[in-house]
Structures are given as structure tokens and as C-alpha cells.
Amino acid sequence: MKQITLNIPEGKFQFFLELITSLGFVKIQDFEISDSQKEAVRARTKKTEADLDRILDWDEVENKFNVD
């Protein structure tokens, strides 16, 4: 199965939903990100920007994972 993400202008969104729903094989999955989740991410971003030493190098971190 393939998945795609689309950015649809607000004014065209309802038309787009009606169009793809009429195809019969499209599953629409809608979700909202809560304000508390958004604020948590913003707080972590600010904390990281204030202390760039918090950022880990992916190549170093990746080598610490044990995958069987």
C-alpha cells in the first residue's frame, strides 16, 4: 500500500474530500495535534536552541542501538 501527504488549500478542502471519497477506495485519516502537544514541542525547541550541546550526532547515536 502507498501513502501520500497532500497540502490542500482551505478553500478547496471540502471539494477535494468529496472527490476522493467518491473513488471508494480512499481511506481518510484525520488527526489534530493538541495545543498541549504543540506547546511541549515549542518548549523543547527553545530549550535546545538555548543549549546546542544538547543536540546529538545521529551517526554516534545510531551506533548505540542494538537491533537483532
Contact 7, 14 (CB under 8 A): no
- Using pLDDT thresholds of 50, 70 and 90, give the confidence band for residue 60: confident
Q: Any residues with CB less than 8 A from the CB of 28 and at least 6 apart, and which?
A: 17, 20, 21
Which residue type sits at 2? Answer: K
* Residue 32 banded pLDDT, cuts 50, 70, 90: confident
pLDDT of 23 > 90? The answer is no
